[in-house]
Amino acid sequence: MESKALTENYERVTSDLKLEILRYKMRSDELTKQLKVARSGKEDIVKKYNDVSKANTNLQQRLKDSEEQVTELLANEKNLLNSRRDLHRQLDEMKLEAGRTSTK
């Protein structure tokens, strides 16, 4: 009788342990799936971050280039205005000289 009780107890304990192992395996599988999803999500986020960072760098370079172009255009405009002023002054001088010559 005692050996039968021991055997039954052993079988009950081993059955309980097998169920517990099965639950741990299922939980491990679930956590492994979650980890894969998290890693995949992280990879997507890192890729998006890198894409945005690259786009930002490109936009900053374009802004710098545009600012340089504006500076150059403003310098050209200033030169043109100075040239125009000089030409008007020369024209006025020529008119004045022509007026002097025609009155003589």
| Tens digit of each residue's pLDDT (9 = 90 or more) over 28-73 | 999 999 999 999 999 999 999 999 999 999 999 999 999 999 999 9
pTM above 0.75, yes or no: no
Cα–Cα distance, 84 to 80 (Å, whole number): 6
**Dmax over Cα atoms in the chain, in whole Å?**
153
Read off the DSSP letter of residue 104. -
